[in-house]
């Protein structure tokens, strides 16, 4: 029983839990075996990209959207609002990237938002400042599947790292997973703080799909060697310490900038959607 579950029982409230994947219970993520082959650069190079603010300097090429047009907005920002499920495939994008669509559909789990992210090179301190949690389960009704995120790294960025922390401000909770071409992981991005440190020269491209937890996803994780720990890369302690200081400096700088506009940030809101 989870703590939230217990708290609700104590309050005498109805207890409805989300359907989650037990494979993600321990660490909040699983690493799958690398995608064997079949990554075709033309598929992501020819897509239409939109400028869309995420963590870092990014553009997104949506493969699904609220209504099937080339659009990146959260499904909850429309009328009627919808949770991050039942993404509508965008015909002109799907036609350019059938292999990516296949990968997103492969588990047989419901697909919400699905897009290719393009990230420009950055520094470790940028990634630490960019750490954020997603909002995949906004409006998601309890009793249904919890939305997590599938990632496939498309470009070969073996020196770049997916940074995960269970505690945003505690580097001791950090895991750093290298992003070779075909690296696959499933992350509960609403639970874990995450961002990518991209050390390449060229932009990094990755496929992201919002997947609904349930028996289909469980079977997919099991069939693809899902494991709750990846080989985490060690980095210089001084670099980590500097990045911590820089993160706090930037957060404070941002808070002041908002305050100057009469916006009080209390409690600190999530930096990004
Ligand atoms: Fe995210």
Please report, for residues 156, 190, 192, 232, 261, the alpha-carbon distance to residue 164 in angstroms, rounded to integers and kept in the order given.
20, 11, 6, 10, 32
The yes-or-no verdict on residue 109 having pLDDT over 70 is: yes
Q: Distance from the CA of 85 to the center of ligand 1, in angstroms?
A: 16
Mean pLDDT of all residues in 15-24 = 90
Give bridge partners of residue 217 from the DSSP assignment.
Answer: none
Closest CA to 124 of 195, 53, 201: 195
Q: Distance from the CA of 14 to the center of ligand 1, in angstroms?
A: 31
CA atoms 122, 127, 128, 130: torsion sign: positive
User: Could you read off the pLDDT of 210-263 as tens digits, one per residue?
Assistant: 999 999 999 999 999 999 999 999 999 999 999 999 999 999 998 888 888 887
Q: Quick one: pLDDT at residue 200?
A: 86
For 185, half-sphere exposure in the C-beta direction (CA atoms, 13 angstrom radius) is: 28
Is the distance from CB of 121 to CB of 176 less than 8 angstroms? Answer: no
Please report, for residues 22, 27, 66, 102, 153, the alpha-carbon distance to residue 218 in angstroms, rounded to integers and kept in the order given.
8, 15, 26, 18, 21
Q: Quick one: pLDDT at residue 15?
A: 59
Which residues does 236 contact at the CB level (< 8 Å), separation at least 6?
A: none
H or E segment to which residue 51 belongs? strand 50-51
Name residue, tokens 């897009």: 115
Mean pLDDT of all residues in 17-26 = 96
Q: Distance from the CA of 241 to the center of ligand 1, in angstroms?
A: 23
The yes-or-no verdict on residue 156 having pLDDT over 80 is: yes
Rg of the chain in Å (alpha carbons): 19
Local confidence band at 9 (pLDDT 50, 70, 90 cut-offs): low
Q: Quick one: pLDDT at residue 52?
A: 79
Q: Distance from the CA of 47 to the center of ligand 1, in angstroms?
A: 21
Which residues does 88 contact at the CB level (< 8 Å), separation at least 6?
A: 64, 65, 66, 67, 68
Q: Quick one: pLDDT at residue 262?
A: 81
Please report, for residues 66, 251, 254, the alpha-carbon distance to residue 127 in angstroms, rounded to integers and kept in the order given.
29, 13, 16
Give bridge partners of residue 161 from the DSSP assignment.
Answer: 178, 197
Q: Quick one: pLDDT at residue 271?
A: 44
Angle at 127 between CA 195 and CA 75, to 5 degrees: 35
Percent of the chain, pLDDT > 70? Answer: 90
The yes-or-no verdict on residue 92 having pLDDT over 50 is: yes
Q: Quick one: pLDDT at residue 42?
A: 97
Q: Quick one: pLDDT at residue 77?
A: 93
Q: Which strands sit side by side in the sheet containing 29-32, from one edge to the other?
A: 29-32, 184-187, 147-153, 204-212, 111-119, 58-62, 50-51
Mean pLDDT of all residues in 192-217 = 97
Q: Which two tokens stand for residue 178?
A: 């290298």
User: Could you read off the pLDDT of 177-192 as tens digits, one per residue?
Assistant: 999 999 999 999 999 9
Q: Which two tokens stand for residue 134?
A: 């997603």
CATH of domain 22-260: 2.60.120.330
User: 12 or 225: which carries more pLDDT confidence?
Assistant: 225
Which residues does 56 contact at the CB level (< 8 Å), separation at least 6?
A: 119, 120, 122, 126, 127, 130, 195, 196, 198
Q: Distance from the CA of 106 to the center of ligand 1, in angstroms?
A: 21
Local confidence band at 272 (pLDDT 50, 70, 90 cut-offs): very low
Local confidence band at 6 (pLDDT 50, 70, 90 cut-offs): low
Mean pLDDT of the chain: 91
Q: Distance from the CA of 195 to the center of ligand 1, in angstroms?
A: 7
């Amino acid at each position: 029983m989870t703590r939230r579950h217990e708290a609700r029982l104590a309050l005498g409230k109805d207890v409805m839990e989300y359907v989650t994947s037990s494979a993600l219970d321990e660490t909040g993520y699983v690493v799958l075996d690398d995608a064997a082959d079949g990554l075709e650069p033309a598929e992501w190079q020819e897509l239409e990209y939109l400028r869309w603010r995420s963590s870092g300097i990014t553009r997104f090429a949506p493969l699904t959207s609220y209504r099937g047009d080339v659009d990146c907005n959260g499904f909850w920002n429309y009328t009627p609002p919808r949770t991050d499920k039942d993404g509508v495939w965008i015909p002109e994008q799907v036609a350019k990237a059938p292999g990516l669509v296949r990968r997103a559909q492969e588990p047989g789990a419901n697909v919400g938002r699905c897009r290719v992210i393009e990230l420009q090179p950055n520094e470790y301190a940028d990634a630490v400042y960019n750490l954020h949690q997603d909002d995949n389960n906004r409006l998601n009704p309890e009793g249904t599947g919890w939305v997590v995120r599938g990632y496939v790294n498309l470009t070969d960025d073996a020196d770049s790292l997916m940074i995960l922390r269970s505690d945003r401000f505690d580097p001791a909770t950090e895991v750093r997973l290298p992003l070779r071409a075909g690296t696959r992981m499933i992350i509960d991005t609403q639970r874990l703080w995450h961002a990518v440190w991209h050390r390449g020269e060229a932009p990094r491209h990755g496929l992201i799909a919002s997947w609904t937890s349930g028996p289909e996803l469980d079977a997919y994780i099991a069939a693809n060697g899902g494991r709750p720990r990846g080989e985490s890369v060690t980095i210089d302690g001084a670099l980590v310490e500097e990045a911590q200081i820089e993160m706090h400096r930037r957060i404070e700088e941002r808070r002041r900038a908002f305050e100057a506009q009469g916006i009080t940030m209390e409690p600190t809101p999530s930096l990004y959607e």
